[in-house]
Amino acid sequence: MKRLIFSLYHLMTRIPVVGRLSVFALNLYRQLMGKPRLIYHEHRLVEALPRLPDRALYDKLAALNVVDAVRAVTADFYARLGIDPGAAPVMRILTRTRQDLFGDVDPERARHQGSVLVRFEAAWNLFQSGTTAPALETFRALLSDDALWRRARRNVYFREALVRSGEIVGRDAELSGDLETALNLYQRLVTVAGRGVIARRVALLLWRQGRIREAALWAERAIWSDHNLASQAVKHNAHLGRVTEILAKAGAESERGPD
C-alpha cells in the first residue's frame, strides 16, 4: 500500500499544475518537520541547497572550482596535442578571468573559517591544485564532525561533502597501506550513502584482499550513481554567468577577426 501511494504521488508530480501543487504541499509538510525544501534537479526531486551564512563565498568558491577544472582539462588537451597550453588564447583568457573575478578568494583562509560547505569547497580547490596536505587536514576534520554526519542524513549537499571527503581520505589511507582504516571509513560512510562511489571503493578494496564473495555483494550497489549536484549548485551562479559572458565575447571577437 505504501509503495502504491508513493508511486501515485510521483505520477501526480508529472502533471504540470498538479505537480507544482504537490511539491508545494510536500514542502510545507517538510518545513513543519524541520526538513530541507525539495526542488527538481535532473527530473528528480532532491533537497535544496541549505541556507548558508556565507553563501556569497560558497558561490564564488563553487564557480572558482568549475573554472579551475575547465582550465585543467583544457591545459591537458593542448599538452596532449603537443601545444604549449600557455600559448593557447583560451588559456590566457581563462587565467586572466580567474585572476580578475576570483583573485580575492583565499581557499586557505576559507577552509579554516567558513561554514561546512565552504570549508569543503575550499579544501577541494586546494586538493585539485596539488596542495594536498592542508586539503586532507580539512577533509579529516569534516569527517570527525558528528554534526555533519547528522546533517548528511537529511540533506544531499552535506551528504556529498561527507562522501567526497571520505573517498579522498580513504584512498589516501589505501595508498599508504592502511587498508583497515580505509575499509572502516567506507563502511561507516555507506550507512549514510550506500551507493555509488563509496560502494565501489568497498568492492574494489575487498576484491584486492581476495574477499571475492563479499566484493560481489557490493557490486550492484556500486553501479548506481550518487546524485551529481555540480550542475545544480552552480545553476544560478552569477560568477559563472560572468565567465560565460567573457568567453562568449572573446569567441565572437575571434570569429570577426581584426578590423
Domains (ranges, CATH) in the chain? 2-35 (no CATH), 55-105+237-259 (no CATH), 109-228 (1.25.40.10)
User: Average pLDDT for residues 242-247, to the nearest whole number?
Assistant: 89
Distance CA 132, CA 129 (A): 8
Q: Which residues pair with 44 in a beta bridge?
A: 41
- Among the residue ranges 5-9, 46-50, 171-175, 245-249, the one predicted with the least confidence is 5-9
Q: Which residues are CB-neighbours of 192 under 8 A, at least 6 positions away?
A: 149, 152, 153, 159, 162, 163
Evaluate if residue 15 carries a pLDDT over 90: no
DSSP line for 188-209: HHTTT--STHHHHHHHHHHHHT
Q: Give pTM, 2 decimals.
A: 0.79
> What's residue 93's pLDDT?
92
Give pLDDT tens digits for 192-221: 876 678 888 888 888 888 888 888 887 777
